[in-house]
Structure 1
Amino acid sequence: MAAVKFDDVRHALARLQPYLLPTPIFESRMLNDWLGHRILFKAECLQRTGAFKARGALNTLAWLQENGQLPERVVANSSGNHAQAVALAANLFGIQATIYTAQNVSAVKAAATEYYGAELIRCATRMEADRLVAEAAQQPGCYWIPPFDHPQVVAGQGTAMLEAASQIEQLDAVFAPCGGGGLLSGTLIAAREVFPACEVIGAEPAMANDAAMSLAAGSIQRLAASPATLADGAATLAVSELTFSYLQQLDDFYQVDEAQIAYWTQWLTHLLKLQVEPTSAMSMAAVASWCMQQDEQKTVLLMLSGGNIDQAKHQLIWAEDYLQQPPIL
């Protein structure tokens, strides 16, 4: 598969202008004082569909249209946010969409996907969804938009970082969550160009550590089943050859346990007054650990990848009150 270049991200940002507005940068003075560093948040939770995934899906269809290859129908496999993104993109481009997902898909993400007009097919497992979408993609007039294993999806996700470069003057490190690695890959491609000295760092759930295992082994490792992590957006079974090639270029990578994911979901929701998905908040645990290793004040950007949480997930996140313990190092 072709490598993704910075020019691909730049062209993607231009393509997205008619469809998306820039998302804002947030920060918490209280958090900055506690940590001793300036922590900035790119609020992709305020993006259309409530997640960064809209960037990759819309860029892919806009690219296909630009090249005279817009299909009659698209299919996708997703744990939720990509499903909404593909459904929205198909709706805007006037084509049909079918999404394959696991039975445990978030209720709010499933509802939004169907609201945009897509057919949602719930499968017994994520593995079955992956198999069925590959079969459906063989049908005439059908195009598969995978959640991360596509150059135009990665380029689209990278526009969040490129957009942030026009909002931030200086940056020492950028953190992003890792599911399939699309956002992290796109972030790395853009950051290397716009902030060459900036460290690019990833985080994933310790319960869903296929990327960490892959990086340690030097080859892609695959989980046997979907893990029951709070960070459902990072519960992919494996990264792809495309994204793995970029993950291998990262400056660091953290694994985060479930208590830390819940802890930071509660605190970022409270401090930023935003609805933050556990997958988004997860990276904050990596930020806190990284900050402990720094000898001077740094400016850090964290990608808040999404903000779609259903009632069942809210109950799990707030099963224990972590706001009684301030986030101090």
Structure 2
Amino acid sequence: MPNIQEIENASQRIKNHINDTPIVSSHLLNDWLGHEIHFKLECFQKVGAFKARGACNSISWLIEKGEKPDHIVANSSGNHAQSVAWAASRFGIPTTIFMPRYSSPIKIQATQSYGAKVVLSDTRDESDELVKAAATEKGTYWLPPFNHEQVIAGQGTVAFDIFQSMKGINAIFAPCGGGGLMSGTYIATKALSPETLVFGAEPLNANDAAESLRKNSIQRLKAIPDTLADGAMTMAVGDITFEYLKQLDGLFEVEESDLIYWTQWLNHLLKVQVEPTSAMSMGAVIQWLKSQQQKQKVMVILTGGNVDPSMMNKIWEKSQLDQIPGIE
């Protein structure tokens, strides 16, 4: 299982390939909420998302072991697809990415732009079956989006970087799709800042992780979820990531209205473009802060900033900026 040493190793492997993303805050938001909120801007990462870390680490790890593949395949609805295509291109490895047709058009286009062959299918399940078949070909390596030790280690470098530069964080929040980022964040946080609480955020409309935790067994969504959080539309968490999700200090389910509200407000306050999946974490932050009696120092990982025009139109169909953020 991944551990803090694997995350430290990952940090060394990828440091010359990725961006050192900033941590920012909004004085206005902090005044309104009465707490200290900080944001790690992985929307400024390579390919516009934290996923670049896991993909780059995994491929670097294979090469380090002398096992450079002839071909890499992956299945993803978005940011992992781009990240594998980008990372593989840096090492001269051809890639084929299997994506469902409902994936964000901008993420499909970006994946192709990084040199990958993209194969579209009607559902995520079909993409999953196609990648399994492709992975049986000689010299081909299948790099899954979250249920992989080196992917988890790479994603854990986000929290690793945070705790190298900031202390005294009471709680750290991140979105939960398949659980790779949450797993890596949990490992790094509990090793470097054991007193810091680790929380996940998941769309209420795609709450397979929350249902899995309630039933203590992995639950799979029965249909493509209706959510703007396209980065958290995973049909089920993995057997590796589920073991870490069980250890979280909490997993909050966030309604679609909160996704829209916080996407608008974070765009406005931080002057950066964030995906609804990223902004979702603020819905979880507010739920947690309602039960806190003392001022809290909170870190929010903003995981990506890839938003296509149709998504942007849905987000801004009605402005939420006349409703000032608050705890109540």
Please give the TM-score of this superposition, normalised by the length of structure 1. Answer: 0.99
Structure 2 match to 1:23:
21
Distance in 2 (alpha carbons) for counterparts of 1:122 and 1:315: 24
SS in 2 for 1:120: strand
For the residues of structure 1 that align with 2:197 and 2:118, how far apart are their CA atoms?
39
Give yes or no for the alignment of 1:250 onto 2:242.
no
Name segments (4+ residues, structure 1) moved above 3 Å: none
Partner of 1:166: 164
Tell me the equivalent position of 2:87: 89
Contact kept? 1:25, 1:167, Cα under 8 Å: no
CA contact (8 A) 1:208 1:227 kept: yes
Secondary structure at the residue paired with 1:166? helix
Any residues of structure 2 matched to 1:172-321 within 5 Å, and which?
172-321=170-319
Q: How big is the alpha-carbon RMSD for the aligned residues of Structure 1 and Structure 2?
A: 0.6
Report the equivalent of 2:148: 150
Q: Cα offset for 1:17?
A: 1.3
For structure 2, list consecutive stretches of 5 or more residues without a partner in the other structure: none
| 1:265 shift after superposition | 0.4
Give the superposition deviation at 1:280.
0.2
Shift of 1:205: 0.3
Please give the alpha-carbon distance, in whole angstroms, between the structure 2 residues aligned to 1:216 and 1:49: 34
Q: Give the Cα separation in 2 of the matches to 1:322 and 1:17.
A: 38
Q: Which amino acid aligns with 1:177?
A: P
In 2, Cα distance between the equivalents of 1:320 and 1:243? 36
Does 314-323 or 271-280 show the bigger shift? 314-323
Q: 1:34 aligns with which of 32, 35, 41?
A: 32
Give the residue type in structure 2 aligned to 1:172.
Answer: N
Counterpart of 1:48 in structure 2 is: 46
Q: Name the aligned partner's letter for residue 27 of structure 1.
A: S
Aligned to 2:102: 104
Equivalent-residue separation in structure 2 for 1:293 and 1:22 (angstroms)? 34
Q: Quick check: 1:35–1:328 contact (8 Å CA) kept in 2?
A: yes
* Superposition deviation, residue 228 in structure 1: 2.0
Write the distance in 1 (CA, Å) between the matches of 2:318 and 2:215.
36
1:328 Cα deviation from its structure 2 partner: 1.2
Letter in 2 for 1:119: K
Q: TM-score, normalised by structure 2?
A: 0.99
Instruction: Tell me if the contact between 2:218 and 2:236 (Cα under 8 Å) persists in the aligned partners.
Output: yes
**Alignment partner of 1:117 out of 105, 115, 118:** 115
For residues 223 and 130 of structure 2, the distance between their equivalents in structure 1, rounded to whole angstroms, comes to 16
Question: Equivalent residue of 2:200, what SS?
Answer: strand
User: Residue 99 of structure 1 contacts residue 119 of structure 1 at CA under 8 Å; is this kept in 2?
Assistant: yes
| 8 Å CA contact retained: 2:157, 2:184 | yes
Per-residue CA deviation, residues 107-131 of structure 1 (Å, 9 max, x unaligned), is 1111111111000111010110011
In structure 1, distance between residues paired with 2:224 and 2:190: 32
Provide the secondary structure at the position in 2 that maps to 1:265. helix
Larger CA deviation: 223-232 vs 76-85: 223-232
SS in 2 for 1:321: coil
The Cα of 1:171 is off from its aligned counterpart by 0.5
| AA aligned opposite 1:124 | D
Count of residues in correspondence between the two structures: 327
